[in-house]
Each structure stands twice: as C-alpha cells, then as structure tokens.
Amino acid sequence: MKLKLSAIVVLLVAGGVAVFLSLGGSLPFGGTTAATDYLTATATTGDVTDEVAATGTIAATEAYALGFGATPQQITDTTPNVGSGTWTVTGVSVSVGQAVKAGDVLATASTADVNRQLVMARSSLEGARLQEKLARATLDDASGTEATRQAKIGYYSAVNGRRQAEQDVADLEAQLDLATLVAPIDGTVTAVNIAAGLEAAGTAITIASATYEVTADVVESDVSAMSVGQEATIAVDAIGGTIQGTVSAIAPAAGDASSGVVSFPVTVTLTGAPSALRAGMTADITIVTASATDVLTIPAEALRGTAGSYRVQVLGADGEPVTRDVTVGLVTNTTAEIQSGLTEGETVITGTASSRLATSGSGTGATTIRGTGGGIAIPGGGFERP
C-alpha cells in the first residue's frame, strides 16, 4: 500500500512540473543566491532646513475698548465694559472697518452736564480754601491746651476738605477730556455701539491695531529648538498666499495639556499683513528653527548608526554596497547635511526595492522552480520513500 501511495505522489508532482514547464517555466536544479535591487540617491549640493509646524488663530497685536468718561482699556480675552456715566452723543466720525491713526477723533459727547458740575466744584473749592485759611487763623490764635486741640482738629478737617475739593475739580476737568473719544493706536475700527443724538453708557467703540499675530501651541519636543526672532511663514487659506513673520514670544510655562501632550503657547508677529486679513482667521505657521545653505546633502534615510557615529552605504562600480563613515551637520526628518566622508555625485543606498533569485551551476539545498506563477520548492531535490 505504501508503495502505491508513493507512486501516486510521484505522478502528481511530475504532472505538476510538466504543466509548469508547458507554461514557460524553468527548472534550475543548481544552487540559488539572492540578488538585491537597491533604492539609491545622489549626494548633491543644496539647503537643509529644520522646521516646526503649528496651527493658530489670527489676532490683532493690540485692541482697545473706548467709552465716554473713561480711559481706553486694552482688550485681552474678552471686551471689557468701558465708560463712566451716561452721555449724550453729539457726533460719530467713524464706521466699522475704517482705518484710523493714533490721535484721530472718533466720537464726541455733550459736556453741558459736566460743565455745570465743574462750575459748582470750582465754587466749592474756593469755599474750601477760605475755610482752610480761617481754620489756620483760629489755630494760630488759640491759647490753652483744649482750645489748641480743638483748633487743630478744625484745621486738619479744613485741609482735607480743600484737598477733596481740588480732586473733584480735577476729576471733572478730566471728564471734559474724556467726552471726546480719540484713537489710542493706528488701527481699524472693529465696533461702533453709539449713534449721534442718543445716550451712551459703557463701551462705545472698539479698535484693533493694523498689525497681527498668531498664537499656536507647540509641543514640548519642538519648543526647545525655538527662540525669539526666528523666521516664520504663515499660510491663511481664507485669503490665499503666505505672510512672513517672526517669533515674538514663547510662553515660559506650559499651557493646558491635551490628550496628555504638553505644549507651550508660541506667538508669531506678522509683517506686511494684507488688507484682507481679519482677526479670527485660521493660520498655519511654519517656523524655521535651523538651516544650512549650499551644503552637501543626502536623504536622511540613507544614514545608519547614531548621533556621533554615522555611516552610509555607497554603491560601488560592481553594484555592491560599500560602508563608509561620514560626519554630519544638520539632520532633519528628510535631509542630512554631510560635512565629510562623501563627495558630490556619489550614489548612496537609501533602502531595498526587492530581491530576485540568481542561479548557479549546482547546489545541495532546496531546488526552486520559478515561472510566471511562482515557484515550487522540492527539499533535497527528490522524494523520500516511506
């Protein structure tokens, strides 16, 4: 029975080989060796740039809220409610989107009430000064301990009264100035909440600077390579094109961690922002952290080893790789600067494309049949009788 089974197996294998050969396959019974096809690149002169990318939101570098009766307040996260008292608006000379210069008059309010109060305050001040003089004279004429003590109390009270009256006059005089809203910076009007002839209380006008910045979170592994003054490129899809800028601030402390990733707020100030740019637009920033120009470069994937002990494989004239030590400079994720060990035009190996089998005259290992459909391996070159 065993002999019959072996015969059947032999017939099946022989039939398979016959079919394979009829399809154009080959049956090499010699030894086999693997020949490797390499991916290569040429060492060339170029530039190497290391960059950090992040996404943030466009914001004005400065923004102010203005209201009658109060000094302008800078806007940070939210717009403050600015203004003191209720005023009757007499004129508004700007509209939303209008460009203004520092010192331009934006709006005015009636000062009639303030002027009336100021007349009364100045009169009160004159009375307070007279009271102080009388109290001083009383103190000078006082005799005896008790009389002197009472005179001193009266005099100090009169002095305080005069000082308060002076402060009241100063406050009202300042109110007169604050009845006119003046642009504190060059910029663009972003909101107008008042109209001539109507009463106004609180924030009347907001203005943002004509210069912009982007603040983005940069992960801790990248922020260590950054410094104030580094160049940046800003892309805003909403308006197209790119804008140049520089790193103006790096937060000394990390922001809120997101999904366990620690990051630091980094601010980039834009230069030459186009008129179409608006606060609130999304911006992608690319910050150059290091660069080397006109140097010998190869793809970073060609490097082997670790920092301080790098090597590459150079493809020899016979097609075989030769290992060579190299000294590197700036290395990025994609490109490496080669300072020594290679010359321009040499071919380096970056990886392996595929492997193919090459046959030799004879061999004692597995016999492989290669054809359009793959291969059949016959261990030992034959069959073992059970």
Q: What is the pLDDT of residues 211-232, one digit of tens each?
A: 999 999 999 989 989 999 999 9
Residue 16 binned pLDDT confidence (cut-offs 50, 70, 90): low
Fold topology of 36-61+211-355:
Elongation Factor Tu (Ef-tu); domain 3 (2.40.30)
Could you tell me what percent of the chain has a pLDDT over 90?
A: 62
- The beta-strand segments (E) located in 72-124 are 73-74, 87-92, 99-100, 105-109
Weakest-pLDDT range from 198-202, 352-356, 380-384? 380-384
- How does the average pLDDT of the chain come out, rounded? 84
Is the pLDDT confidence value at 383 over 70? no
Average pLDDT over residues 263-291: 92
Weakest-pLDDT range from 22-36, 85-99, 291-305, 338-352? 22-36
Is the pLDDT confidence value at 133 over 50? yes
Residue owning tokens 């494309």: 353
Is the pLDDT confidence value at 343 over 80? yes
Average pLDDT over residues 232-236: 95
Q: Which residue, among 165, 164, 162, 170, has the nearest Cα to 131 in the 3D structure?
A: 162
Q: Are 244 and 232 in contact (CB under 8 A)?
A: yes
Alpha helices in the chain (DSSP H): 2-22, 112-141, 145-177, 220-223
Is the pLDDT confidence value at 14 over 80? no
Which of 190-229 are b and which e, b meaning 16 or more Cβ less than 10 Å from the residue's Cβ? bebebeeeeebbbbbbbbbbbbbbbbbbbeeebbeebeee
Residue 33 binned pLDDT confidence (cut-offs 50, 70, 90): low
Is the pLDDT confidence value at 198 over 50? yes
Could you tell me what percent of the chain has a pLDDT over 70?
A: 82
CA geometry: angle 28, 33, 38, nearest 5 deg: 125
- pLDDT attached to residue 308: 82
What are the domain boundaries of the chain? Answer: 36-61+211-355, 63-207
- pLDDT attached to residue 84: 85
Average pLDDT over residues 259-285: 90
Weakest-pLDDT range from 143-147, 303-307, 313-317, 363-367? 363-367
Q: Left if phi > 0, otherwise alpha if psi is -120 to 50, otherwise beta: which for 173?
A: alpha
Q: Which residue, among 281, 279, 268, has the nearest Cα to 214 in the 3D structure?
A: 268
Hey, how many other C-beta atoms are within 10 angstroms of the C-beta on 40? 17
Residue 161 binned pLDDT confidence (cut-offs 50, 70, 90): very high
- pLDDT attached to residue 83: 86
- pLDDT attached to residue 5: 42
Hey, how many other C-beta atoms are within 10 angstroms of the C-beta on 66? 26
Residue 357 binned pLDDT confidence (cut-offs 50, 70, 90): low
- pLDDT attached to residue 356: 52
Average pLDDT over residues 294-321: 92
Instruction: Report how far residue 156's alpha carbon sits from residue 147's, in angstroms, rounded to the nearest whole number.
Output: 14
- pLDDT attached to residue 354: 61
